[in-house]
Amino acid sequence: MMARPSDTVNEIQGWKKLALGLLALLIRLWTLTLRIHIPEEQSKTLQKQTENVLILLWHNRLFVGAEAYRRIRGNQNKMHGLVSASKDGAWLSAFFRGSGIVPIRGSSSRRGAQAVIELINALRKKGDIGITLDGPRGPVYEAQPGAAWIAAKVKPPIVMFNVRYHSYWRLKSWDRFYVPKPFSRVDFELEEIEELPEITGSSDKETLRKYLEDRLRAFSADT
């Protein structure tokens, strides 16, 4: 059976894939120049977790997310991340692989339900998952429903990530993506969400979606 257009996952091939691998290496070296500060007490929030964890952050904080995760979690777990199934997402997917993140493809407009199922399976069996709460395409700082669905279904430990850049550029993208300047200081912060609103029906998932949005907005720097 042929895949429907809405189910198609775009991938980078050939020289473009090689170029993305080199870019991923460059960014990895870039992050190594940064003076990333992670408070020891906060890092224990993630280190102490023996279960697989749902990690939430805003899309524009992604630049140092993988590096900070490696420093805290080490090699004990594997990070899985949601990436759009679109052509734009194909580039990010190739970059994720180069950064050591396992990409799971989908968004609200393409493969959304299947991607959520794959994320749930990864969280239950394979490792931690990281979700940009405003999704791969925004709107910026508005939570998409996927994280709430997963939180309600699996009830995993949930840890929020935030990044405070001291010197940076901001791209003219939908989320005004942060790019830290080489050799600058970056403050990385974590906070666990220890208790969620009680979920008794499908209508409560909207309450949970808004709750996660409000918590991450309050925890983040410029929202």
Q: Does residue 47 fall inside a structural domain?
A: yes
> Could you read off the pLDDT of 176-213 as tens digits, one per residue?
999 999 999 999 999 999 988 877 666 688 999 999 99
Give the residue, 133 or 91, on which the prediction is more confident. 133
User: Where in the sequence is the domain holding 202, given as residue range(s)?
Assistant: 37-166+186-219
Over the stretch 42-66, which tens digit does the pLDDT of each residue have?
998 898 888 999 999 999 998 898 8
Could you tell me which residue, 110 or 137, shows the higher pLDDT? 137
Q: How far apart are alpha carbons 47 and 23 in whole angstroms?
A: 29
| Residue 171 pLDDT grade (very low, low, confident, very high; cuts 50, 70, 90) | very high
CA-closest candidate to residue 142, choices 220, 63, 82, 62: 220
User: Where does the pLDDT of residue 173 fall: very low under 50, low under 70, confident under 90, or very high at 90 and above?
Assistant: very high
Residue 106 is assigned to a structural domain of this protein: yes
In a domain, 174, yes or no: no
Q: Which residues contact 55 (CB under 8 A, 6 or more apart)?
A: 69, 79, 128, 129, 130, 131, 158, 159, 160, 161
| Paired strand residues for 165 | 186
Question: Would you state the pLDDT for residue 126?
Answer: 87
> Rounded CA gap, 123 and 129, in Å?
6
Please report whether residue 16 resides in a domain. Answer: no
H or E segment and range at residue 191: strand 185-193
pLDDT in tens, 23-45: 778 888 999 999 999 999 999 88
The answer as to whether 3 is a domain residue is no
Q: Into how many domains does the chain fold? A: 1
pLDDT digits (tens, 9 = 90+) for 70-117: 889 887 678 898 877 666 666 677 667 767 788 887 665 556 677 888
| Distance (Å, whole) CA 107 – CA 82 | 8
In a domain, 192, yes or no: yes
Percent of the chain with pLDDT over 70: 83
**Stretch 106-135: mean pLDDT, rounded?**
82
Q: What is the CATH number of the domain that holds 99?
A: 3.40.1010.10
Domain assignment of residue 177, yes or no: no
Q: What is the pTM of this model?
A: 0.85
**104 inside domain:** yes
Contact by Cβ (8 Å): 159, 45: yes
More confident residue, 7 or 150: 150
Q: Which residue has the higher pLDDT, 2 or 49?
A: 49
